[in-house]
Structure 1
Amino acid sequence: MRFGLTAEDDEAVRAALEAHATEYVDKLQALEGCAEYHLKASEDEEALLRQILEDSSEARELNDDIRNGAAGPDAPLVLGELVAKEAQARQNALATGVVEALSAFAREQEISQLTGGDFLSASFLVSEDQDELFLTTELSLANQMGDEFQFRLHGPLPPYSFV
């Protein structure tokens, strides 16, 4: 349950529970037999930058011009913006792909605010009968993506993100 609610006395608590009893029972039934798994994923920044420079001729040429002293004074800013835009697009696509693959084995998913260098922070509500498939798929994704990626899966947890 979430914390932070207060009531004047026990009677106020009883009244609130009675007034919303159907909602609470429905929610508890929806969560029955489920656990939450929270996944955070990040990519090694140097590997990402290397990949962008390999794949983007525009970024590579601009980077070479800067290194050779042939670029204008605004070139580092232009390169930074280009790389940042490309990195964001790549990481958004990766996050979408991971969530889509894992959502096949989850009743619900909740995307969280990103922190640090993570490109994905998501919680999944997984029923007991899908637990093994979910975990196997997550491990397979992590292995397929390679050593440049770090997957941090926490769970099973109480389904507090889905209350």
Structure 2
Amino acid sequence: MSQEHGLFVYGIVPSDVEPTADAEGVGDPPGRVTAIRHGELAALVSEVGLTEPIGRPADLTAYERLLDGTAEVAPVLPVRFGTAVTGEDAVVDLLAAHHDSFAAALAEFEDRLQYTVHGRFDEQEFVSDLLTRDTRAAALADQVRGRPEAQSREQRIRLGELISQAVEQRREAENRALVDAVGRYAVADAPRRPSHELDAVNVAFLVATDDEKDFVGAVEDFAEQRRDLIRMRLVGPLAPYDFVSAHQLVE
């Protein structure tokens, strides 16, 4: 391998995992994914130019597509997106240095997948509900209604603050309610940071493959009970991104 090229590392898998012949990685054109083995482990890699910027949306999509597809057939430890090393020796050194901890983690993720539940409040429904329950917010809404923004700026700011506080409080309650409703079908759960100011729920769950059907059904029931207020989305199955430790992700 030339000094201008290296290996992009996607994830750690058991040594008997073999990438499919058509597996594509990052880069333009996409690199062919191969496995480098050491002991009980293998690393999924593809060749990349070390001087080429890696981080395009297409690269992230390729990274996630490879890991999520792998997770459906074998346990996988995602390596932090963007990790590239100089060659095969560096990959083998990585596997050797963390062999026992990687192997133990892979055993924990056997027959387990991540699902992420994300929901966002319908702004109109949320504000309407808030105004019926909070007299302060209703009074401020009356004060700004029909008035020019410049003349009602202070009231608009105060109303925005009340709405923001109400969203945060309701978000905490909805996240707890979600875990209470579906958590019995999951091995673990991990709260995620809001991705939008109107986020209602954002939680990752680690689910045993035997419990997938019950888990999905419980999420659908939860979403149906809130369909007028929250637009819910279930994403998965995924690789266990939210359940690997920092050293497993490889800083």
TM-score by length of 2: 0.57
Secondary structure of the 2:85 match is coil
Structure 1 residue 5 and structure 2 residue 83: aligned? yes
Residues 1:16 and 1:52: Cα distance change in structure 2 (over 3 Å)? same
Alignment of 1:1-163 (within 5 A): 1=11, 2=79, 3-67=81-145, 74-116=154-196, 117-163=198-244
Percentage of pairs with the same residue: 27
Shifted more, 59-68 versus 31-40: the winner is: 59-68
Secondary structure of the 1:110 match is strand
Residues 1:8 and 1:74: Cα distance change in structure 2 (over 3 Å)? closer
Secondary structure of the 1:135 match is helix
Greater fraction of residues in strand: 2
**Structure 2 Cα separation of the partners of residues 142 and 94 of structure 1:** 11
CA shift for structure 1 position 68: 8.3
**Structure 2 Cα separation of the partners of residues 16 and 7 of structure 1:** 10
Q: Is the 8 A contact 2:204 2:242 kept in 1?
A: yes
CA shift for structure 1 position 72: 7.7
**Structure 2 Cα separation of the partners of residues 77 and 58 of structure 1:** 13
**AA at the equivalent of 1:119:** A
Q: Is the 8 A contact 1:42 1:149 kept in 2?
A: yes
Residues 1:19 and 1:47: Cα distance change in structure 2 (over 3 Å)? same
**AA at the equivalent of 1:89:** Q
Q: Is the 8 A contact 1:52 1:87 kept in 2?
A: no
**Structure 1 Cα separation of the partners of residues 236 and 155 of structure 2:** 46
Shifted more, 17-26 versus 43-52: the winner is: 17-26
Secondary structure of the 2:83 match is coil
**Structure 2 Cα separation of the partners of residues 111 and 97 of structure 1:** 12
* RMSD of aligned alpha carbons: 2.4
Structure 1: which 5+ residue stretches go unaligned?
A: none
**AA at the equivalent of 1:10:** E
Structure 2: which 5+ residue stretches go unaligned?
A: 1-10, 12-78, 245-251
Q: Is the 8 A contact 2:187 2:205 kept in 1?
A: yes
- Higher RCO, Cα 8 Å, sep 6+: 1
Equivalenced residues, count: 162
**AA at the equivalent of 1:15:** D
CA shift for structure 1 position 73: 6.5
